[in-house]
Amino acid sequence: MTNWETLILNEEHSDEHVYVIELNRPEAMNSLNTKMAVELIECLTSLEQQKSLRVLILTAKGEKSFCAGADLKERKGMTNAQWKQQHDIFEDAYELLRNFKFPVIAAVNGFALGGGMEMLLSCDLRYAAEHAKMGLPEVKLGIIPGVGGTQLLPRAIPVGLAKEMLFRGNQVDANKALETGILNGVYSTEELMPKTLEIAKEIAQNAPLSLQSIKKSISTGLHTDINTALSIELDQYYKCANSEDRLEGVLAFNEKRKPDWQGK
């Protein structure tokens, strides 16, 4: 794997099919600059090819901030054309994150604001430290969320609550985010990564084709009518039912042993 400047890729758990990406700009509250977006694109593209990967965790260096959004110092003085050029890169990075073929889990270790909150919303599961705070403050800067915030948040929580957060541009703490449905769980700072890894490793023991098909069925089906969505599910069902892993799963069950998944 490449050594990244703004990211740390932890392959320590790769034998258990879990990889960890850490955003690595703690001196800038892990804010997203152009370099980080480019490296995130390169990293996610590379990880898609890793045959051992079944679950990806996204977290950040330090305990203060997960991601404070776009680096406004870098944006100071940008022309409209330069802003658009940078935003195109941001869009590509977030699209790759949303469409990553395996489950992606956010471990939110601090502030997740603006693009940082959109980053966690782009993940499939979200866990946070007790001190974490999150929000979409773009309205206070004369813009709106531009990499999914106005679409992903009202798909995660009731529309009225999403509109309130977006109109006010306010922050919510981790417990409130858990209560509304933004988060799946809240842990102490010390427990956040161990608990997230525990969940990731449990998920990673399951059939890789099944994980991919579940994610694709949900992500695609949510954006269409129920009959089309059921057809999408059925297509993915037969993709798994006709696989070698389905044969292995049934055989392992009858032989009372752990399946040896091959992902085909």
Name the residue type at position 133.
K
**pLDDT of res. 2:** 65
Residue 264 maps to a domain: no
End-to-end CA distance of the chain: 24
- Active site members: 118, 138
**pLDDT of res. 1:** 54
**Quick one: 190 and 223 in the same domain?**
no
d(CA 188, CA 17): 25
**Quick one: 113 and 138 in the same domain?**
yes
Question: Angle at Cα 132 formed by Cα 183 and Cα 198, nearest 5°?
Answer: 55
Cα dihedral angle (217, 201, 8, 135), rounded to 10 degrees?
60
- Cβ burial, residue 138 (10 Å; 0-12/13-18/19+): buried
**Quick one: 62 and 21 in the same domain?**
yes
Low-confidence ranges of the chain (pLDDT < 50): none
**pLDDT of res. 260:** 86
**Quick one: 125 and 217 in the same domain?**
no
Half-sphere exposure of 181 (CA within 13 A, CB side): 10
**pLDDT of res. 155:** 94
Question: Angle at Cα 202 formed by Cα 117 and Cα 119, nearest 5°?
Answer: 10
**pLDDT of res. 3:** 77
Looking at the structure of the chain, the number of domains it has is 2
**pLDDT of res. 81:** 94
Q: Give residue 15's domain range.
A: 7-204
d(CA 135, CA 241): 42
Residue 244 maps to a domain: yes
> Helices marked H in 99-148 — which ranges?
115-121
**Quick one: 212 and 120 in the same domain?**
no
d(CA 68, CA 12): 27
**Quick one: 13 and 142 in the same domain?**
yes
d(CA 183, CA 170): 17
**Quick one: 126 and 143 in the same domain?**
yes
Residue 70 maps to a domain: yes
Helix, strand or coil for residue 255?
coil
**Quick one: 43 and 64 in the same domain?**
yes
**Quick one: 149 and 170 in the same domain?**
yes
Q: Which of 44, 8, 6 is nearest to 28 (CA)?
A: 6
How far, rounded to the nearest angstrom, does the alpha carbon of residue 33 sit from its chain's CA centroid?
A: 18
Segment 161-194, tens digit of pLDDT: 999 999 999 999 999 999 999 999 999 999 999 9
Residue 124 maps to a domain: yes
**Quick one: 19 and 114 in the same domain?**
yes
